[in-house]
Chain A
Amino acid sequence: MTAATTEVRAGRSRKARTSGVSRHAYPLWFYLPAAVLFLVFFAIPTFASFYFSLTRWTLFDQEFIGFENYVQFFREPQLYQGFINTLIYGFLTSGLKVVIGLALAVLLTSALVGRHFLRSVIFFPVLVSTIGVGIMFKALLDPFDGMVNGALETLGITGPGWLTDPDLALYSIIGIDVWKGLGIACLIYIAGLVAIPTEYYEAARVDGASKWAAFKSITLPLVKPATGTVIILSLIGGLRSFDLIWATTGGGPGFSSDVIGSVIYKQYQAGFYGLSTAGNVVLFVVVTVIMVPISLMLNKREVEQ
């Protein structure tokens, strides 16, 4: 009891001392510019979106219609498909970036010949704009003249219409997305791998552990923070994706590769601002419901370590 009170007192006096210094040295108005921008261009639009999604809205005029936009969003097959595609897109790109990114990072931190060259090469697509990448792959994946199908043809395989086949288009874009974003995932993993002390691996080798066993019980658990970062970054990016899809297929053929991001833009373009904003709220809910538990879970693990 007495020990506890002295501790509290000590804590209090320490706190008093630092805040005495900080009041002079660390002015709270440093928050002000960021706070104003954030409030005006992020918080207000976000809150307003909940209201506007319940209206028939033309920017000048709005009429409250309740949940009609949402009903329409989930009842019309082409809008609903965008919702499903968003989930496929987000989880598949994220999963592939984790698996391939880790595998490549392991390869590139080993004593591989030419690893510095490989690191720069893999990072290169990150620098090209998504629109540029989209146009490039439209040419490469062209079903008749494209290089990819040309190469397949020399092997005696008739290549599919990567971006023109409704069953395939979404997955082709997922492939392009992974190609473009792999560099960042790999970079984060390399940083995580380099931080693991080499003694661990030496000890494992002395104990006669196989390479796979060392990977499973040393590497995997110790790169968890990096995995968390990769998952969070690629899921957020994947669920919000818009520009790559817009540059390659525009959501087509039909609505087969539409995601919520492209549905929002199409409705906006057509002047259905209320419906477009409802799409935004759906995206908001999807991202929040998926991201908040995942980031909480990943943070907890990091603390336990």
Chain B
Amino acid sequence: MENRPLEYDYTVAKMFMLTTIVLGIVGMSIGVFIAFELAFPGLNTIFGAGLAEYTNFSRLRPLHTDAVAFGFTLSGIFATWYYVGQRVLKVSMAESKFLMFIGKLQFWLYVIGVAAVVVSLFMGITTSKEYAEFEWPIDIAIVVVWVLWGVSIFGLIGIRREKSLYISIWYYIATFLGVAMLYLFNNMEIPTMLATSAAGETGIGAWYHSISMYAGTNDALVQWWYGHNAVAFVFTVPIIAMIYYFLPKESGQAIYSYKLSLLAFWGLMFVYLWAGGHHLLYSTVPDWMQTMGSVFSVILILPSWGSAINMLLTMKGEWQQVAASPLIKFMVLASTFYMFSTLEGPIQAIKSVNAIAHFTDWIVGHVHDGTLGWVGFMIIAALYHMAPRVFKRELYSKSLMAAQFWIQTLGIVLYFTSMWIAGITQGMMWRAHDEFGNLAYSFMDTVDVLHPYYALRGTGGLLYLIGFFMFAYNIYKTMSSRPVEESELQNASPMGA
């Protein structure tokens, strides 16, 4: 037993790979659709006046954000965990019937949760809190899924053969703890049926309805502490976990610096949560909190760039791989977009810049160069690396992968450039006064001027979506039509022409 190489069991990883792709297509398609709705409002009723209630921008927007954040991204995180976890801890899921059961249970509950979210958002059942729109029954389901994932993480760690925890595991643990803390506190709510039954009347109103525990400014404070750090613990920390595993594996290069990893990890953990206040600059939150949010956002550049530089320098002396392999290209550009996005964010958190940027499309642009460039590219790269090993088949097409890379990169560039121009134009027009001290523009003037940028943004999103379909096709063909690989290569993924 001890002398045989480990056979890892990828059953659960495969299941989550599937949801990553399916929910990616769903979330991104809705995103492209609503982007074009803003440019061409006629699209709101394209499916008929009867369905307009469900196809209006306002109803679909939360569906888009939740589908990509908690559908696509979270599936990607789970898929990579069930792959990476076994490998760096040197233990197979097949060794524990219990952990295998937990993994499958987590998957199926997750799928049920996703279905409940989709239905409830279409129905307009929402608590209105961004990225936490779900009512309490779904919140409870989400907590159960999360606890199951925690059992899986710590269970696998408990039976590990590798004594020391690899960097990726640090980040997965942090993701688990961070999201658990944020989600629980932000979703504290009282179901209205508790109050009505206490008043002696049962069954008044919707049974799933609830009211936030926090009011007004406090509610905003908790919400943006959550909202900002959902970015930290869903869009940053677990994606770093991925790149710390997949980039060295794919390139055959060791991580550039262990010390830098340490500094970046603990720095990120400590600094990130302070920065949430930057969503509330010039609001009714106390001034000292706004200043803290602003200052810590700028400090946040250090640990963020620490990770990003560590990733890029991992390729030191091996840059020819970037030219040769589209898979490496995805990861290197992901790191670059991470640097870009974590510089842009702090700039927007500076008070004077925020006065122009807040409430505008520049923020939307910032979110998307992070999510499309960093999160999207890294998850795509991770699945490309996993596919030949999980399915024991050569990747279907290298040239399709390269074409996808360039189409999607062009899409991201169109997206963020158009949103930069749109956002800054909007912000400048809102504040402009004429020589008599009157407002120079009406609100409608600013809406009119944005039309071309909205059209361009939709086009950028569409290119990214087309690339994602190419990705889905490439993975599908890999699963179904390539010859079986006899042995697994140490680093670079085997690819077809």
Asked if A pairs with B, the answer is: no
Taking Cβ atoms with an 8 Å cutoff, the residues of B that contact A are none
